[in-house]
């Protein structure tokens, strides 16, 4: 398909670029349309350097216009006749320089190819189901269109400057010729002076037009810089803030880099245009020369716009973080951390030339006891393209450490404000110098506020501070943030909590789970949107009962031991006891759900429903399992093999259906340990497994490992008959031991023959000691 036909079928965004390309008289769109086939078949590139070929093409072009004019005469298209005749007259200016016509046509054809390539690339990306950054939102679509328009106008301005120079050379040549010729005839002399005056007037109008176009070009550049710096960059910085605390926001800088680089390249070209105008004035000038009057102001404006763009282009791509930290922005003294800076204006000639330096707390706030730190390690690196996957200009600092200054006077006595260590915010600063084409600009970038700790026990509180700041603060340099006792609305707070689970397990919190958390914080309410959470209620240093300590304990447990179960939606999690009762009491016997403990930090339990002889539902709950238990036995195996001893000492697994009605083995089956077969002709060992057994009157699951109860926290009471809380019977707690560690009683011993013993019933008659399963797995339990 011909190039012009393909262009006419493009998406509206690219057709708009085509309209902007032909919004001038150098090559009218009518001529391009009616002579499309002929124009695309000619060797314009060779004609641009071959005067004879260019002259032939010029004459054929005029003939084709005559033919087209004749067609319009036959069709009685009066307006089109007029336009074609006018276009032919305009093309007469190329009579003395047909190569310039060839250059003009070639330039337009090349720009058309660029538009086609952009459209085809966007189509390929869409076929791969990958949305290009420029097409994410309508505002970005508009910005991309304006950016393409700016590139077009800059290229057209380049062509205009060339034409202006040629026009000036024509005047200069004729003027110098007039000066050298001794014309005696006054009439001829007046005629030559009249011609020269007309050339000067034409040159003056062309200069005014060029300056006007440059002013409009700078107006558009200023509009685009405002969009880039005050909107797109600010939105990216906010997305980065939220991404640091778990939000699934896109923080890729590639699209911003393309836009910033395009703007910088365009403005540098404008500076070159202005330099060219200065050069032209040096050759030919006259009274009231518009370039002399307007060029200085345009130069200052272009430089200011470029400096503003460059100062905003130096950013922190990856915020400071430790390899083993709880999250970014929490740093520990004497422990290495990394941070990456990036220059969004990518000029290959600057690769390995711009040095970036690191410093701490450029401005020390007036806070009582505010600590000061020195940055140690490799504090200076150059921006280069080798350390970035996308080829961006980055300086990746990987081996920095912080050391507290011994005699720090920072903020002492300067204010009554006093903050805890984990509420104290610090900023890491970076600076470099951009020096290119006669322009030198100092660039500075700052990290988001970091919390600096000296002991790993402070990590939990420090991460809480990072969460709180980046959830609420839009001022990324407000190191006195915690002096103002900020509060969070429930929608902000709930979203942040969901991000913690989403980033740790790839599954956030549901609306029902968030509602349960809101109920825990604010009590029963119809709508929580206007409720607020105070910082002191969320987390305060050295307070073990804060909301964050409880929530973070659950989060750590889920991440370490329950991630797959949580991701598959098998754990209901945040359910109050009242809600639990209302959910289970209408379900069939053996229906159970999994929830997090409200009293044991980092605990999970399960509750199930049974029915008494009167048909009344009874909700029963086991003592919560903690990391001590889950380290020894996977939670799904606990659910699979959990047993309760009824009054007749007959072990039974009461867990049958995961809420609402999924059979237990269907819900958890894919997690069960596969039963390994033994193909040997004899059994070397009796297989054992560790399992939990509870007495009916205690309902406390207990393992042989040391329990979290040693921390001084009482067990979460289990629900007794009809969901009434029962006191645990500590004298009847079951202990489960693996057979391999069991010490034989001197009064009896058990041998394991290759086949089941003949007196198997003898063993089975004593269920307190042995259980024999179809899988030939033996489990020894001893009730103390």
What is the per-residue pLDDT for 269?
94
What is the per-residue pLDDT for 648?
62
pLDDT level of residue 684 (50, 70, 90 thresholds): very low
Q: Which of 194-208, 489-503, 540-554 has the highest mean pLDDT?
A: 489-503
- The DSSP symbol for 418 reads B
Report the pLDDT averaged over residues 365-380: 90
Q: Are 65 and 88 in contact (CB under 8 A)?
A: yes
Report the pLDDT averaged over residues 541-564: 85
> Percent of the chain scored above 70 by pLDDT?
79
What is the per-residue pLDDT for 562?
94
pLDDT, greater one: 604 or 287 = 604
Give the pLDDT confidence of 482-532 residue by residue, as tens digits.
988 789 999 999 999 999 999 999 899 999 999 999 988 888 888 899 999
- The DSSP symbol for 559 reads I
487-564 CATH, one of 1.10.238.10, 3.40.50.2000, 3.40.50.300, 1.20.1530.20: 1.10.238.10
What is the per-residue pLDDT for 1?
64
Report the pLDDT averaged over residues 74-92: 78
717, pLDDT greater than 60: no
What is the per-residue pLDDT for 350?
92
C-alpha distances (whole Å) from 198 to each of 174, 180, 181, 182, 204 are: 12, 20, 19, 21, 10
Q: How many residues are listed for the chain in this entry?
A: 784
- Of 241-245, 325-329, 402-406, 547-551, the least confident: 325-329
pLDDT, greater one: 183 or 555 = 555
- Of 429-438, 541-550, 634-643, the least confident: 541-550
419, pLDDT greater than 70: yes
Residues of the chain with CATH 3.30.505.10: 570-783
Task: Name the nearest CA neighbour of 327 among 517, 468, 444.
Answer: 468
Q: Hey, is 531 helix, strand or coil?
A: coil
774, pLDDT greater than 60: no
pLDDT, greater one: 314 or 781 = 314
What is the per-residue pLDDT for 270?
95
What is the per-residue pLDDT for 8?
81
711, pLDDT greater than 60: no
Q: Which of 136-140, 442-446, 651-655 has the highest mean pLDDT?
A: 442-446
136, pLDDT greater than 60: no
pLDDT level of residue 748 (50, 70, 90 thresholds): very low
Phi, psi torsion values for 134, nearest 5 degrees: -70, -15
- For the domain spanning 1-130, the CATH number is 1.10.532.10
Q: Which of 129-133, 285-289, 292-296 has the highest mean pLDDT?
A: 292-296
221, pLDDT greater than 90: yes
> Percent of the chain scored above 90 by pLDDT?
38
What is the per-residue pLDDT for 756?
44
pLDDT level of residue 202 (50, 70, 90 thresholds): confident
What is the per-residue pLDDT for 782?
30
Please, which residues have CB within 8 angstroms of residue 204's CB and are 6 or more apart in sequence?
Answer: 286, 289, 290
What is the per-residue pLDDT for 401?
95
| Range 313-484 classified under CATH 1.10.8.640 | no
- Of 41-50, 121-130, 140-149, the least confident: 121-130
Please, which residues have CB within 8 angstroms of residue 479's CB and are 6 or more apart in sequence?
Answer: 365, 367, 424, 425, 426, 427, 449
- Of 61-70, 276-285, 411-420, 443-452, the least confident: 411-420
Give CA–CA dist 100/166, Å, rounded. Answer: 10
pLDDT, greater one: 349 or 693 = 349
Cα 220 to chain center, whole Å? 29
| Range 135-307 classified under CATH 1.20.1050.20 | yes
Give the pLDDT confidence of 752-772 residue by residue, as tens digits.
334 444 444 444 444 444 433
pLDDT level of residue 674 (50, 70, 90 thresholds): low
As to burial, measured by CB atoms within 10 angstroms (0-12 exposed, 13-18 middle, 19+ buried), residue 97 is middle
Extract the runs of DSSP E, i.e. beta strands, from 665-775.
693-695, 734-736, 770-772
Residues of the chain with CATH 1.10.238.10: 487-564
pLDDT level of residue 542 (50, 70, 90 thresholds): low
Give the pLDDT confidence of 110-126 residue by residue, as tens digits.
888 888 887 777 666 55
pLDDT level of residue 174 (50, 70, 90 thresholds): confident
pLDDT, greater one: 128 or 183 = 183
pLDDT, greater one: 411 or 148 = 148
706, pLDDT greater than 80: no
**3-state per-residue secondary structure call for 149-165:** HHHHHHHHHHHHHHHHH
Report the pLDDT averaged over residues 408-429: 74
pLDDT level of residue 676 (50, 70, 90 thresholds): very low
Q: Which two tokens stand for residue 218?
A: 């700078």
pLDDT, greater one: 544 or 614 = 614
pLDDT, greater one: 448 or 361 = 448
- Of 170-174, 230-234, 409-413, 510-514, the least confident: 409-413
Phi, psi torsion values for 227, nearest 5 degrees: -65, -40
409, pLDDT greater than 70: no
What is the per-residue pLDDT for 543?
60
Report the pLDDT averaged over residues 589-607: 91
Angle at 420 between CA 414 and CA 424, to 5 degrees: 70
Average pLDDT, the chain: 80
Report the pLDDT averaged over residues 74-98: 80
654, pLDDT greater than 50: yes
341, pLDDT greater than 70: yes
252, pLDDT greater than 50: yes
418, pLDDT greater than 90: no
Give the pLDDT confidence of 45-58 residue by residue, as tens digits.
888 888 889 898 98
Class of domain 570-783: alpha beta
Give CA–CA dist 469/424, Å, rounded. Answer: 11
Residues of the chain with CATH 1.10.532.10: 1-130
Report the pLDDT averaged over residues 350-363: 92
Q: Hey, is 685 helix, strand or coil?
A: coil
C-alpha distances (whole Å) from 772 to each of 12, 151, 767, 781 are: 75, 81, 9, 12
pLDDT, greater one: 216 or 677 = 216
Report the pLDDT averaged over residues 596-600: 88
Residues of the chain with CATH 1.20.1050.20: 135-307
Please, which residues have CB within 8 angstroms of residue 439's CB and are 6 or more apart in sequence?
Answer: 271, 303, 306, 307
Give CA–CA dist 286/280, Å, rounded. Answer: 12
741, pLDDT greater than 80: no
Concatenate the DSSP letters of all residues of 464-526 into one string.
HHHHHHHHH-S-TT-TTGGGG--EEEHHHHHHHHHHHHHHHHS----HHHHHHHHHHHH-S-S
743, pLDDT greater than 50: no
Please, which residues have CB within 8 angstroms of residue 386's CB and are 6 or more apart in sequence?
Answer: none
């Amino acid at each position: 398909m011909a190039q012009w036909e393909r262009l006419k079928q493009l998406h509206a965004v690219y057709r708009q670029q085509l309209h902007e390309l032909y919004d001038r008289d150098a090559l009218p769109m009518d001529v391009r349309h009616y002579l499309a086939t002929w124009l695309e078949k000619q060797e314009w590139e060779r004609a641009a350097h071959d005067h004879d070929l260019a002259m032939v093409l010029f004459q054929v072009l005029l003939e084709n216009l005559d033919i087209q004019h004749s067609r319009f005469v036959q069709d009685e298209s009066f307006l089109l006749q007029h336009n074609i005749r006018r276009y032919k007259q305009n093309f007469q200016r190329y009579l003395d320089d047909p190569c310039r016509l060839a250059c003009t046509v070639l330039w337009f054809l090349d720009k058309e190819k660029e538009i086609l390539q952009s459209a085809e690339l966007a189509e390929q990306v869409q076929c791969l189901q990958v949305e290009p950054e420029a097409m994410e939102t309508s505002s970005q679509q508009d910005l991309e269109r304006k950016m393409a328009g700016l590139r077009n106008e800059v290229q057209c301005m380049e062509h205009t400057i060339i034409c202006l120079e040629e026009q000036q050379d024509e005047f200069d040549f004729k003027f110098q010729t007039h000066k050298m010729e001794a014309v005696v005839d006054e009439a001829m002399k007046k005629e030559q002076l009249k011609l020269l005056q007309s050339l000067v007037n034409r040159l003056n109008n062309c200069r005014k037009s060029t300056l006007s176009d440059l002013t409009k070009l700078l107006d558009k550049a200023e509009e685009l810089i405002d969009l880039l710096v005050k909107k797109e960059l600010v939105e990216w910085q906010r997305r980065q803030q939220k991404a640091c605390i778990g939000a699934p926001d896109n923080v890729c800088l590639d699209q911003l880099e393309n836009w910033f680089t395009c703007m910088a390249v365009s403005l540098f070209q404008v500076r070159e245009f202005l330099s060219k105008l200065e050069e032209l004035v040096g050759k030919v000038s006259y009274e009231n020369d518009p370039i002399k009057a307007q060029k200085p102001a345009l130069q200052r404006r272009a430089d200011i716009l470029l400096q503003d763009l460059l100062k905003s282009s130096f950013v922190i791509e990856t915020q400071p973080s430790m390899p083993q930290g709880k999250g970014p922005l929490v740093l520990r003294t004497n422990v290495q951390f990394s941070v990456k800076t990036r220059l969004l204006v990518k000029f290959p000639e600057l690769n390995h030339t711009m040095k970036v330096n690191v410093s701490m707390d450029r401005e020390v706030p007036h806070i009582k006891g505010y600590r000061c730190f020195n940055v140690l390690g490799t504090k200076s690196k150059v921006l280069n393209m080798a350390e970035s996957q996308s080829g961006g200009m980055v300086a990746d600092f990987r081996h920095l450490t912080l050391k507290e200054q011994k005699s720090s006077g920072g903020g002492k006595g300067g204010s009554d404000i006093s903050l805890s260590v984990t509420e104290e915010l610090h900023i890491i600063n970076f600076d470099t110098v951009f020096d290119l084409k006669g322009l030198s600009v100092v660039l500075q970038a700052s990290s988001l506020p970091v919390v600096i700790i000296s002991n790993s026990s402070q990590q939990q509180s420090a991460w809480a501070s990072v969460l709180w700041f980046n959830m609420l603060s839009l001022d990324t340099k407000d190191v006195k943030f915690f002096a103002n006792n900020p509060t969070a609305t429930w929608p902000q707070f709930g979203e942040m909590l969901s991000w913690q689970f989403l980033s740790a397990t790839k599954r956030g919190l549901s609306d029902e789970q968030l509602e349960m958390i809101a109920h825990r914080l604010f009590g029963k309410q119809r709508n929580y949107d206007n409720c607020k959470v105070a910082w002191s209620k969320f987390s305060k240093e050295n307070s073990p009962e804060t909301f964050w300590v409880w929530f973070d304990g659950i989060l750590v447990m889920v991440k370490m031991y329950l991630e797959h179960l949580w991701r598959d939606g098998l754990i209901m999690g945040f359910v109050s006891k009242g809600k639990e009762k209302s959910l289970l009491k209408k379900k069939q016997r053996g229906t159970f759900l999994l929830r997090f403990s409200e009293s044991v930090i980092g605990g999970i339990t399960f509750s199930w429903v049974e029915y008494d002889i009167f048909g009344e539902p009874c909700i029963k709950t086991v003592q919560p399992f903690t990391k001590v238990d889950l380290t020894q036995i996977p939670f799904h195996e606990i659910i699979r093999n959990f047993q309760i001893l009824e009054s007749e000492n007959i072990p039974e697994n009461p867990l049958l259906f995961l809420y609402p009605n999924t059979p237990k083995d269907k819900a958890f089956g894919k997690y069960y340990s596969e039963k390994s077969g033994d193909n040997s002709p004899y059994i070397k060992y009796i297989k054992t497994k560790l399992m939990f057994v509870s007495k009916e009157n205690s309902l406390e699951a207990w393992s042989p490992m040391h329990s979290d109860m040693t921390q001084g926290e009482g067990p979460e009471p289990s629900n007794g008959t009809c969901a009434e809380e029962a006191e645990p019977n500590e004298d009847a707690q079951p202990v489960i031991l693996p057979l391999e560690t069991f010490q034989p009683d001197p009064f009896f011993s058990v041998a394991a023959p290759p086949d089941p013993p003949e007196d198997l019933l003898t063993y089975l008659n004593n269920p307190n000691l042995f259980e024999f399963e179809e899988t030939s797995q033996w489990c020894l339990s001893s009730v103390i």
